A and B are shown apart, each in its own frame.
Chain A
Amino acid sequence: MTEQLDAGLIGEKIAESGQLSDPGDGLEVGRARRRKEDARLITGRTTWTDNIQLPGMLYVAFLRSPIAHARITRVDTSAARGRPGVVAVLSGRDFAGEQGSLPCAWTVTEDIVVPDHPPMAADEVRYVGEAVACVVATDRYKAADALEAIEVDYEPLEAVLDMTEALTEGSPKVHEAGNRAFTWKFSGGDVDAAFRDAPVVIERTYVQQRLIPSAMEPRAVVATTDGAAFTIYSATQIPHVLRVMLALTTGIPEHLLRVVAPDVGGGFGSKLQVTAEEVLCLLLTRRLGKPVKWTESRSEGNLTVHHGRDQIQRISVAAERDGRIRGVRVDLLADMGAYLMLVTPGIPLLGAFMYNGIYKMDAYDFTCTGVFTTKMPTDAYRGAGRPEATFAIERAVDELAHELGMDPLEVRRRNWITHREFPYTTVAGLTYDSGNYEAATDRAMALFGYDKLRAEQADRRDRGDPVQLGIGVSTYTEMCGLAPSRVLGSLSYGAGGWEHATVRLLPTGKVEVVTGSSPHGQGHETAWSQIAADALGVPFEDVSVLHGDTAIAPKGMDTYGSRSLVVGGVAVLHACEKVKDKARRLAAHMLEASADDIEFSSGAFTVRGTSQGKTIQELALAAFAAHDLPDGFEPRLDADVTFDPENFSFPHGTHLCAAEVDTETGMVRIRSYVAVDDVGTVVNPLIVEGQVHGGIAQGVAQALFEEAVYDTDGNLLTTTMADYLIPSAADLPDFITDRTETPATSNPLGVKGVGEAGTIASTPAVVNAIVDALRPYGVDDVPMPCTPERVWRILADSGAAPARPAAAGWGGAGESEGGLR
């Protein structure tokens, strides 16, 4: 008892933190540096958008539709306008002439339906939470109070909630043009041949439930104008993309619009958006001539932050009896929600190239239909398309193993690309540059104690233990580091995938790095400093990293798709190299030597074979003074690079999960979790560790906890954190993590993306473990999230007693008469 009580008192167990590694080679890259930005982020003494106060600022609150689908017949704002402190009350009609349509930058097919998407609904609402009016007041309390005085009359229309029904003839329509947004097809090889006479065919349907991205910092916007030029501060991942899009949407000329992403507290894709609130705040400041601020509440966010996932996946796998996969066929329905937002239609397509996973096969066929429903639009959420794909293939491969009576790892071994076969061009047409699935898997199995856990599983099955044990495997890869611009173009994406960096040596020898990627918790300031410190031979502390403001970092493609390091970090390295080349010329000049005879080491340029040299700091000052420069040498030591990657990045790894399922209550407990990831060269192990931990947590959350639930009228039921369950550290096991390091060959740092890997890998590992635990009960799927009630009902439906426990286990138990029947 005391233990329980003390746990209650302390409230948390301080896990032993892993040793901070320092390779001891004097280099910064590879060092587990604590993040230099963390003190200000953690204490909140920083520029969170909501912390920004401007003179004369007004506050905006939005009235949101309480009905999923309706015609707006009347909006009466007069009473609200009379409330104390109210400056303006506006409805959709008031913005009609100027609000335009929120952009969709990824029109995936020629015939895609892109409905008009007014930032504030004027005639019709199509999801609960859509803005229909707003109040601008002198403080946020008055704004919230006045909302209650706005009267809106609605003429209800039928809600459209189920994707399959939405596609049937006679279904009510979300938009005039119908509920099918697009159908996109893709194939490689002869899939009919692969399935013809296939000895084994596994066919499954999986549902990727709708998720609500829950960044720690809610969305917030501040917009201001001096009458001519505009500045918008937004908790966004994409200040640069936002600037272009806002200029196009509002007509404010791009050169008169500055976008600032101050410190941003997480995004996970949810802030990769051009939101209604951003556009409307800009229009309000233009209209009123005063700064305005809007900060969402958590429940407002649950309704109106774009949602993630929400797909129905039909996957078929054709295989030989020996386990060799012949082909995979995927038919996907993807819920777009009510409108197409920035990259809504492209999200499922990011998964299209991943359903083949790490496996070799002859043929692959993919079809995706985007469907409109009267729900919040979906868009990017950590992993964006790739977690869905990885889940389907990793679940299906486990089903294949079960069907064949093979160990799930053995089936994978028979199909995966071996390390000698890299670079390998997959059936989906991607060239995986490097990897070593064998090494990662061997390491993971050793750390996990695979054989011992299998023995325990057999024992629990034999004993009919009410707590059953399951082992889940996920051998994932993913494509990230978005992306070669040409490839994006071929996929009808509206922009490129390059990244920009500027490196400046200041007169005192300090270094400013300006990056076009836009951190919101990833630790760019630390990692980029490490890269620049090594490249220029300057101390880590002498580097500062600027970002997130189009006036300071004018060019960029921002942060998403695990792209920052593999594109933005590489741009920084290239810019450092350029600076160094200039410095070398200057050094040669000052040392009266040929540039070819100048060596660079530890921040100093020396004439080969002599002790004569100049430090990079001395050169910085000399360039500043400009008294003695080579002919034609511009007096500056700085450089710009815009880097376009030549390939995607393909991190991979093996995740193993042991889950205990209490068959009496349906409760699932993760007993142990091993993640061995290969993210290539590691710049900062501590940051990588953080990404892996957070990523796994988020993937586990999909497997066990999170689901956005709409009722049959289209009301969102999960508007608070009491209903939308997000796990905390207390709900997760200690993750055992390790790495193998197979450097990427597609970039000079050898790095691969790590931002999404954990999320992509972990969901199928957990669900595979649960299903594995329940195989003796005849269970071959548990829909996500695998809540206790769901597990319990599935067991109750299966008759609760294990069907043929001993025979059902493929492993150790064999056909022994366990005496359970």
Chain B
Amino acid sequence: MIPAAFDYIRPASLDEACHVLRDADASGNDVKVIAGGQSLLPLLRLRLAYPAALVDLGRLPGLRGVEDRGDHVFIGALTTHDEVLRSPAVREHVPLVALATATVADPAVRHRGTFGGSLAHADPAGDLPAVAVALDCVFIARSAEGEREIPAAEFFADYLETTLRPGEVLIGVRVPKLGAGWGFHYEKFTRTAQAWAIVGVAAAVRTEDGSIAEARIGLTNMGSTPLRARAAEEALRGLSTAHGDSGVTIPGRVHDPVRDACGQAAEGASPPSDLHARPDYRAHLARVLTYRAVRAAGS
């Protein structure tokens, strides 16, 4: 399919980009930032979006790369999925990011699509937004007016909508290191290997003396934004990890209280309905997958 015509602007610096965006906003022009184009171009080609101009951040210096900054890892917005996946800092200190990134699409998409684009696109079916809310990442936005920080819990506003203001560019994300005792898992449920998640669960679990001390659970595609499964997180606190079971269907077997706690994973969610799953099935999946993710993370 062929997109409608648009202007193309490639600023040489971040400052220039910010000014272009501010001017466009002031004159009421519909301008969109483009990074890897892996989400934006399909929208343009299907003629679901008609921006007057694209501002290409692709070659801006300084927005690409991963840095270990002591208590957190900083991931530049334009770092590609593939670069994230290869980064030793990510793999060692914030492995949940790597685990989720490894499930994103295919190598071709991962070589073009960016970490920042995935988050700024705010698709609740994307794998990284759930990770960002589970880890309480901090988003750094820049505009002609300056820089500000947005906590993950406040970043995702609605389906494909963030709290980035017009004229703001996401320049990077601080991913906190959680430290010792934490385990991680990303459980993604898809019909085919390269498809979007029907439901995904990002779990970070801290165990202490055989019990769950703390659990953080992010849900992919269970609402119009990525969600935290707070009720399940609460219920999991203090539970022993000793009773893993392999299935729910067998009355009379040793029963795992962790499974009951994970049964609250869909509480408060309003999962979407589409060709691959209706809401009740998604809610069921969220419960089953949360159990699997928590068991895998907490072992």
Contacts and interface: CB of A to CB of B under 8 A. Distances in A.
Interface stretch (A7-15, A153-161, A587-595, A752-760): A7-15
Contacts of A464: 247, 249-250, 253
B46 interface: yes
B97 to A, nearest CB: 11
Contacts of A634: none
B86 A9 contact: yes
Interface stretch (B22-30, B235-243, B277-285): B277-285
Contacts of B86: 9
A171 interface: no
A709 B285 CA distance: 23
A509 interface: no
A8 B135 CA distance: 21
A665 B189 contact: yes
A442 interface: no
Given A9-B102, A464-B249, A464-B250, A705 B275 contact: no
A1 B285 contact: no
Contacts of A783: none
Interface stretch (B52-60, B154-162, B191-199): B191-199
Given A465-B246, A664-B248, A731-B193, A8 B288 contact: no
Indicate the size class of the contact surface on chain B. Answer: 35 or more
A756 to B, nearest CB: 23
Interface stretch (A137-145, A500-508, A555-563): A137-145
Contacts of B281: 789, 792-793
Contact of B99 (A4, A145, A802): A4
Contacts of A792: 281, 284
Contacts of B195: 722, 725
Interface in B187-228: 189, 191-196, 198
Contacts of B46: 299, 720
B247 A664 contact: yes
Indicate the size class of the contact surface on chain A. Answer: 35 or more
B80 interface: no
Given A725-B195, A728-B194, A11 B106 contact: yes
A787 interface: yes
B253 to A, nearest CB: 8
A297 B246 contact: no
B98 interface: yes
Contacts of A11: 106-107, 110
B85 A9 contact: yes
A579 to B, nearest CB: 48
B276 interface: yes
B83 to A, nearest CB: 11
Interface stretch (B1-9, B12-20, B71-79, B145-153): B1-9
A728 B99 contact: no
Interface centre among A665, A705, A717, A726 (most CB of B within 10 A): A665
A8 B192 contact: no
Interface centre among B91, B110, B193 (most CB of A within 10 A): B193
Contacts of B289: 665
Interface string B79-100: 0001001100001000100110
Contact of B247 (A140, A466, A717, A726): A466
Interface SS of chain A = loop
B126 to A, nearest CB: 13
B103 interface: yes
Interface centre among A299, A726, A789 (most CB of B within 10 A): A789
Contacts of B143: none
Given A4-B102, A665-B288, A722-B195, A141 B249 contact: no
Interface in A682-731: 705, 709, 717-718, 720, 722-723, 725-728, 730-731
B95 A1 contact: yes
Contacts of A12: 107
B101 interface: yes
B85 A5 contact: yes
Nearest to B47: A148
Contacts of B4: 145
A8 B97 CA distance: 12
Interface in B114-130: none
A598 B32 CA distance: 80
Given A8-B85, A787-B191, A718 B275 contact: yes
A725 B102 contact: no
28 contacts: A1-B95, A5-B91, A5-B99, A8-B85, A8-B110, A9-B86, A9-B102, A10-B107, A11-B106, A11-B107, A141-B5, A144-B1, A299-B46, A464-B250, A465-B247, A466-B246, A664-B247, A705-B192, A722-B195, A725-B191, A725-B195, A726-B192, A730-B193, A731-B192, A787-B276, A789-B278, A789-B281, A800-B249
Given A718-B275, A727-B192, 10 more contacts: A11-B110, A12-B107, A299-B46, A464-B250, A663-B247, A725-B191, A730-B194, A793-B281, A800-B249, A820-B250
Interface of B: 1-2, 4-5, 46, 82, 85-86, 91, 95, 98-99, 101-103, 106-107, 110, 189, 191-196, 198, 246-253, 275-278, 281, 284-285, 288-289
Interface of A: 1, 4-5, 7-12, 140-141, 144-145, 297-300, 464-466, 663-665, 667, 705, 709, 717-718, 720, 722-723, 725-728, 730-731, 787-789, 792-793, 800-802, 819-820
In order of increasing CB-CB distance, the 8 nearest A-B pairs are A8-B102, A466-B247, A730-B193, A11-B107, A144-B2, A464-B250, A297-B1, A789-B281
